[in-house]
Amino acid sequence: MNRRFYRIGLVAALIALTGLLFIQVYGFIKAYRLEEKQFNEKVNVALREVADGILTINHQHQKRIDPVVQTASNTYFVPIHHSISYRPLDSLLRKTFTEHNILQPFSLTVYTESDSVILGSFYNAGPGSSDDPTCMGRDEQNIPMNFAVTFPVQNAHIVGAMDLWIFTAATFIAILILFAFMITDQAKQKKLALMKNDFLSNMTHELQTPITNISMASEVLLRNPDIETKKKSRYLEIIQQENQRLKHQVEQVLQTAAMDKGEFLLTRQTINLNHLIGDIVEKFRFRVEQRFGLLKSELKAANPHVAGDALHLTNIFFNLLDNAEKYSRDEPNITVSSHDSESGVMISIEDHGIGMSDQSINSIFDQFYRASSGNIHDVKGFGLGLTYVKKIVEAHHGMISVKSRLNYGSTFMIVLPNQVNG
């Protein structure tokens, strides 16, 4: 029920936010248009006043003023059909614009009736500026003329005048980002909680098996003190094996807890990775051969020396071999190799096991993650091994990557930097 309410609430919130976003965009466009319209009106009135002023200077009080024509979104053409002197026109424009609070930069162009340019000012700093207008062309011709004014940064100015809108839009976008962040964070927390639950039930189950086996074997020994020696050794062997298993499981959990708290220390020494991995492979061979599998080692790195922690490095290669064997449904076929690479020693562990989907590959290094497709949960594990491997590799300034194809197998590659001599 709770989950349903949560989902409905989420969808409702998303719809509301999308609606608000549309209202915001619509409002912004409307406000922009209104601001633009008001600006156009102001400029129109000011330019008609200027045209009137020019005609008055030229004693043409009776002459009709034609309407100002907007030839582009930021250009206004004023047809006055009368001789114009550049300087008086420029100062009249500046004065009138200032009176109408039109303070942005503009450029002025004077045309003949046949529309050829006779005078043009470059873009100046605006009516308030005391700069001398830079003017090009021939002045003082006694022929009918018209002029045009262009505002090169008009759009920016209009947007600038809408600061309240921009502030609201920015706040709104910030709320949207926060909302998205909260949703993804909550989804992550939920996934983690589910994985932790899985882990706890899995762990309880995993610990129970060796405990039950140990108690059964010890009970048989206690009840039958005269049991024959062969059988006795078999039961003692079971107790020892199950104890080892228990120890490994508890260590794995403790290691992860210590790493989470940042409490693990590396004791570095010079390590020949070919030797270290060769030893692990030999210890592991029995397990693979018991399943009639094949374990090849091609340790060919010419410079296999790294400065590393022997215990942790042994653990991580053991974990990777353990996975390669565990996740092989048929007889395991595993190849462990080492090469020299530009960034150090490259070790790869290749299996022909069940492989992984692309989706799984993205999550295998996450704590508690275990692929849930297929029937691989027959395979024991806590979902902690690869998290540990990655942390240890990174603590050695190395890199880990994986290539895998579902049903075809996986290859884990680790590069550890060579020991720097001296």
Residues found near ligand ADP in the complex (CB under 6 A): 319, 323-324, 327, 351, 353-356, 364, 369-371, 376, 381-387, 410
| 149 vs 392, beta carbon nearer ligand ADP | 392
Give the chain's count of helices (H) and strands (E).
9, 13
| 303 vs 359, beta carbon nearer ligand ADP | 359
User: Shortest Cβ contact with ligand ADP: which residue?
Assistant: 381
| 171 vs 359, beta carbon nearer ligand ADP | 359
Q: Which amino acid is at 119?
A: L
| Helix 310-326 vs helix 385-395: crossing angle, to nearest 10 | 140
| 172 vs 318, beta carbon nearer ligand ADP | 318
Least distance in Å: CB of 279 to ligand ADP? 21
| 274 vs 387, beta carbon nearer ligand ADP | 387
Show the CA angle centred on residue 367, arms to residues 361 and 370, nearest 5°. Answer: 50
| 71 vs 208, beta carbon nearer ligand ADP | 208
Least distance in Å: CB of 301 to ligand ADP? 22
| 146 vs 256, beta carbon nearer ligand ADP | 256
Q: Which residues, in sequence order, are bridge partners of residue 410?
A: 351, 404
Residue 204 near residue 239, CB atoms below 8 Å: no
Q: Which residues, in sequence order, are bridge partners of residue 346?
A: 339, 415
295 burial via Cβ count (<10 Å: 0-12, 13-18, 19+): buried
Phi, psi of 65 (to 5 degrees): -100, 125
Joined together, the tokens standing for residue 321 give 């071999």
Least distance in Å: CB of 347 to ligand ADP? 14
Q: How far is it between the farthest Cα atoms of the chain?
A: 137
Residue 151 near residue 126, CB atoms below 8 Å: no
Least distance in Å: CB of 376 to ligand ADP? 6
Residue 65 near residue 51, CB atoms below 8 Å: yes
> Distance between CA 8 and CA 4 in Å, rounded?
6
Least distance in Å: CB of 7 to ligand ADP? 29
Least distance in Å: CB of 318 to ligand ADP? 11
Least distance in Å: CB of 16 to ligand ADP? 40
Least distance in Å: CB of 192 to ligand ADP? 15
Regarding beta strands 135-137 and 269-272, do their DSSP bridges make them parallel or antiparallel, or are they unpaired?
unpaired
| 153 vs 376, beta carbon nearer ligand ADP | 376
